[in-house]
């Protein structure tokens, strides 16, 4: 079943970041091997001009992304204030021609924690201005509620700090988040390091996984992109198949009736 996002549908539940790949060619191959429909792009990193022109390496990057056919989700990465994030979103809309925005408002440069107060305020401003906001947030239920009240239709809680590869650092909190926001589209964003961790998130019932470093920094980014695509697909299928619950003790898989009697 396709994934619905702000009135659009995509077939892949894998969203891939585009930063820090060994080469543009490897980025392009990883995108194709992953089969993703959406890629995230940092406006600043690509040096795109606010007049709609592309300059220097940004022009080549823009052409590469267009050739893959993937939809772009601009990112306010590196923004530390509401004003900075909102301004960057405006630039992204003008340059990239989309109302979609992955909203990041960072509290500190050490752990890259979301500034949840600034995040909610920026989300409110941007939704009122017609943006479709994808907020990078924590697994705090209260913050999630406020983001929904601000107009967000999608929530993107982190698994762990950005680029850490720690995986699902607080499984109980993420399970509670999924249960609490039962009808909201939830995308795990940041901290995933291995395909098995992505599969675990999907088995919990999360709707999609967004990651970057786990693919870009792998020894073979292209092979890792495929591994994540398979893991996310498998995790979703497992969730839909309704896995058995853990049982204390053993439960025989073979029937006991019809066994030979030795008496």
Clarify whether 240 is annotated catalytic.
Answer: no
How big is the chain by its Cα radius of gyration, in Å? 20
Query: Which of these is catalytic: 55, 102, 175, 240?
Result: 102
For range 110-128, the mean pLDDT: 93
- Give the tens place of pLDDT for each residue, 145-169: 999 999 999 999 999 988 888 999 9
Query: CA distances (Å), 44 to each of 84, 137, 239, in order?
Result: 12, 21, 38
Higher pLDDT residue, 61 or 263?
A: 61
For range 131-139, the mean pLDDT: 97
At residue 54 the predicted structure's pLDDT band, cuts being 50, 70 and 90, is very low
Has residue 107 got a pLDDT over 70? Answer: yes
This prediction's pTM: 0.89
199's enclosing H/E stretch is helix 195-203
For position 197, what pLDDT does the model report? 97
Give me the residue label for tokens 């995040």: 119
The percentage of residues in the chain with a pLDDT greater than 90, rounded to a whole number, is: 75
Higher pLDDT residue, 254 or 228?
A: 228
CA–CA separation, 111 and 160 (whole Å): 9
For position 50, what pLDDT does the model report? 38
For position 52, what pLDDT does the model report? 43
DSSP state string for 119-155 = HHHHHHHHHHTT-EEEEEE-S-HHHHHHHHHTT-SEE
Coil, strand, or helix at residue 78? coil
Six-digit token string for 111: 């752990």
Has residue 121 got a pLDDT over 60? Answer: yes
């Amino acid at each position: 079943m396709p994934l619905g996002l702000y009135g659009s549908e995509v077939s892949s539940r894998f969203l891939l970041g585009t930063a820090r790949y060994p080469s543009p060619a490897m980025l392009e191959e990883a995108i194709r091997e992953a089969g993703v429909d959406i890629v995230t792009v940092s406006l600043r990193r690509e040096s795109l001009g606010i007049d709609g022109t592309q300059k220097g390496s940004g022009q080549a990057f823009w052409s590469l992304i267009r050739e893959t056919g993937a939809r772009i989700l601009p990112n306010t990465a590196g923004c530390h204030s509401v004003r900075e994030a909102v301004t960057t979103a405006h630039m992204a809309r003008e340059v990239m021609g989309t109302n979609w925005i992955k909203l990041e408002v960072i509290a500190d440069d050490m752990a890259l924690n979301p500034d949840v107060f600034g995040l909610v305020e920026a989300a409110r401003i941007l939704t009122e201005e017609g943006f479709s906001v994808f907020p990078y947030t924590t697994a705090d239920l209260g913050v999630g509620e406020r983001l929904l009240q601000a107009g967000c239709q999608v929530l993107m809680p982190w698994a762990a700090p950005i680029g850490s590869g720690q995986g699902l650092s607080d499984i109980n909190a993420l399970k509670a988040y999924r249960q609490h926001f039962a009808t909201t589209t939830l995308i795990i964003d940041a901290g995933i390091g291995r395909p098995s961790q992505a599969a675990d998130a999907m088995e919990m019932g999360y709707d999609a996984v967004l990651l970057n470093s786990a693919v870009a920094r792998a020894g073979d980014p292209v092979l890792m992109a495929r591994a994540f695509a398979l893991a996310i697909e498998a995790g979703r299928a497992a969730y839909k198949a309704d896995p058995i619950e853990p049982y204390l003790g053993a439960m025989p898989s073979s029937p006991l009736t019809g066994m030979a009697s030795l008496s």
